[in-house]
Structure 1
Amino acid sequence: MDEWFEKQRKELLRIIEKFTPEDGTHETEVPGLRFIRSSRLSEPVYSVYEPSLCVVAQGSKVVMLGQEVYQYDPSSYLTASVQLPITGQVMEASNETPYLSLQILFDMNQILDVIQASDDAIRTGNETSRGLKVSQLNDTLLDAVLRLVKLVETPRDIPVLAPYAMREIIYRVLQNEHSASLMQFAVIGSHAQRIAGVVEKINRDFALPLRVEELAAEARMSTSSLYDYFKEVTGMSPIQYQKQIRLQEARRLLFSESIDAAGAAFQVGYESPSHFSREYARMFGMPPVRDLRRLRSTMVDEMTISAEIK
């Protein structure tokens, strides 16, 4: 990293650290901007990424999409172009040098506006590619991100300046070598934009039986084309995608609500508790009851460590 880049990164680091007094995800007053802090290496965290830009100020993180692994650090950034069920894990962090990062959520209408206003500065097309990319962080994008982040220190400027800063960030992302990954989902009628509609429907109706023929008809595709494009974008089939969404939601229900494994299974769309338990163990490494016991034990240990540090 050159001297200017390192200076900008340290300023980004200073602001994120200032507004993240403890581990966790911290929403900011800037719409769509959140900060993340972790003072220790994390266990795998299962979640659904929204369309967004993720930048690391300190440490590194690995994100797994299906069988694919994406790692990014202060020299790179990650873009998610569509809702994707991922497994994330902080790989570099400590009390002295915590993992610090930010996430900027994207609005597809904003992206489309930037594309339409850019004339020939951004090339558009109907390519379909993976909805998750890691790219090299350059000076111009880092500078635009820092301008948005600095607004958390001057809240009265946010309503006027945040939309302009967000617009520049989108423009800079779209100019990079992997721009098609994000751009494709904003182009009305593109294959990727239709797949994004299918993804949204599966996320909304994940507990209902999945009928690929109906999804294909709504997307105005043949079933084989839907399967091919869906796998190109998400790295998995529609059935595999639905399964990950169901199991993640079941795990959330088990941990946050007074519900047993059978109740969670039925609530997310499984008819057989034994089938649910097998698939749950396949994804999370152990059956629901044992996994829940381990999660609660881990939480108690983390609370104890946090209290000792304070």
Structure 2
Amino acid sequence: MRTQTRVDSKIKQNARVEQIRADLVRKIMAHCKGEGIAGTPIPGLMLYRRSEPTACTSAAYKPSLIVYVQGKKRINVGQSTLVCDETTFLLTSIDLPVVSQVIGATREKPILCLTLDLETPEVRRILSEHELPDSGQPASARGMSVGETTAELLDACSRLVDLLDAPQDIPFLAAHIEREVIYRLLRSPQGAHLRAIATLGEQSNRTAKAVSWLKENYAKPLRVEELAGVAQMGVSTLHHHFRSLTAMSPLQYQKQLRLHVARERMLNGLDAASAAFEVGYESASQFSREYSRFFGQPPMRDVKSQRLPGAEPRE
């Protein structure tokens, strides 16, 4: 009897998830009619639509929640590969350079998702105001993780999108719904690391400070001892926690960030040599070698291909 009750409850929960997801598909389609990213009047909320698969595209993801309601996307961070589809959300709790690719989208069923920026001070505030039970998951998870979307999280996101049809309510209601979204994330298994990064004094919080420092100073020569000082930990400890958090070493993180920034600047009209020197390379030939190894072709050829019709809009 108990087993049957659990099965019936699961069936009802799945049906509710499907219904809310179908509503979100309709709402995002209504507010995001063009290809790529669409901003909204709600600060930090963006909608995304793409009607065909894309080539690999570099991007710098910041702390955010991405809820996928249709389609499929692959994200490479360091040596890790994550795949997101209509049943999942992507939680990013620190700044990370990634390479992403839409792998499931058609004109009849485009990939659709919403992105909500996450502010660490707000996460910290919610943790200080409410005694939330620990999810029981280890806090050594990556700074980017994929979770299964629940009806409660989808419902909060759906109500947030509803505000786009009632802009007069955005100033009062948006912040309340965003707090609910963060609450739902913190209650999820993927919330463990979001909690750790927001908690002052935690190893992850200190490592996140090193990540932020490196992001702001990527063009400078990397001195690991200086970076360890920012995190207030030993060099070997920093290496361990940095790799656990980002799936990269500090040097790999710096290199990928430099390449991403250089690519962005070339897409905006800068020549390869100038972009290389601006992001910290002392040798244009070394930059070209590392760029080709990472993106699969030389800088200017890659930039030219990114400008072709059908290329993925930059994120």
TM-score normalised over the length of structure 2: 0.91
How far did residue 248 of structure 1 move?
Answer: 0.7
Q: Classify the secondary structure of the residue corresponding to 1:184.
A: helix
How far did residue 125 of structure 1 move?
Answer: 10
Deviations 1:36-71 (A, max 9, x none): 110110111111111111111111111111121111
Partner AA of 2:292 in structure 1: A
Q: Which residue of 2 aligns with 1:286?
A: 297
What is the alpha-carbon distance in structure 2 between the residues aligned to residue 266 and residue 168 of structure 1?
Answer: 44
What is the alpha-carbon distance in structure 2 between the residues aligned to residue 279 and residue 231 of structure 1?
Answer: 20
Partner AA of 2:35 in structure 1: D
How far did residue 7 of structure 1 move?
Answer: 1.4
Bigger mean CA offset, 268-277 vs 5-14: 5-14
Q: Which of 13, 17, 27 lines up with 2:39 in the alignment?
A: 27
Asked whether the equivalents of residues 305 and 311 of structure 2 are also in contact (C-alpha less than 8 Å), the reply is no
What is the alpha-carbon distance in structure 2 between the residues aligned to residue 148 and residue 110 of structure 1?
Answer: 17
Is 1:272 aligned to 2:283, yes or no? yes
Change (3 A) 1:222 1:302: closer
Partner AA of 1:83 in structure 2: D
What's the RMSD between the two structures over aligned residues? 1.8
Q: Which residue of 2 aligns with 1:187?
A: 199
Q: Which has the higher contact order (CA 8 A, sep 6+)?
A: 2
Asked whether the equivalents of residues 67 and 88 of structure 2 are also in contact (C-alpha less than 8 Å), the reply is yes
Identity among equivalent pairs (%): 39
What is the alpha-carbon distance in structure 1 between the residues aligned to residue 123 and residue 109 of structure 2?
Answer: 35
Deviations 1:269-308 (A, max 9, x none): 0001111110000001011122223223x23x669xxxxx
Q: Which residue of 1 aligns with 2:66?
A: 54
Q: Which residue of 2 aligns with 1:168?
A: 180
Q: Which residue of 2 aligns with 1:226?
A: 238
Q: Which of 102, 125, 128 lines up with 2:140 in the alignment?
A: 128
Q: How does 1:207-222 map to 2 (within 5 A)?
A: 207-222=219-234
How far did residue 189 of structure 1 move?
Answer: 1.4
- Aligned residue pairs total 300
Where structure 2 has 5 or more consecutive residues not aligned to the other structure, the ranges are 1-12
Deviations 1:130-181 (A, max 9, x none): 1011111111111111111211111111111111101111111111122212
How far did residue 126 of structure 1 move?
Answer: 9.1
Q: Which residue of 1 aligns with 2:57?
A: 45
What is the alpha-carbon distance in structure 2 between the residues aligned to residue 88 and residue 140 of structure 1?
Answer: 27
Q: Classify the secondary structure of the residue corresponding to 2:75.
A: strand
Asked whether the equivalents of residues 48 and 114 of structure 2 are also in contact (C-alpha less than 8 Å), the reply is yes
How far did residue 3 of structure 1 move?
Answer: 2.5
What is the alpha-carbon distance in structure 2 between the residues aligned to residue 65 and residue 222 of structure 1?
Answer: 25
Q: Which residue of 1 aligns with 2:271?
A: 260
Change (3 A) 1:277 1:141: same
Is 1:239 aligned to 2:247, yes or no? no
What is the alpha-carbon distance in structure 1 between the residues aligned to residue 164 and residue 215 of structure 2?
Answer: 32
How far did residue 33 of structure 1 move?
Answer: 0.7
Asked whether the equivalents of residues 292 and 299 of structure 2 are also in contact (C-alpha less than 8 Å), the reply is yes
Q: Which residue of 2 aligns with 1:84?
A: 96
Q: Classify the secondary structure of the residue corresponding to 2:198.
A: coil
Partner AA of 1:266 in structure 2: F
Is 1:111 aligned to 2:123, yes or no? yes
Q: Classify the secondary structure of the residue corresponding to 1:41.
A: coil
Asked whether the equivalents of residues 125 and 184 of structure 1 are also in contact (C-alpha less than 8 Å), the reply is no
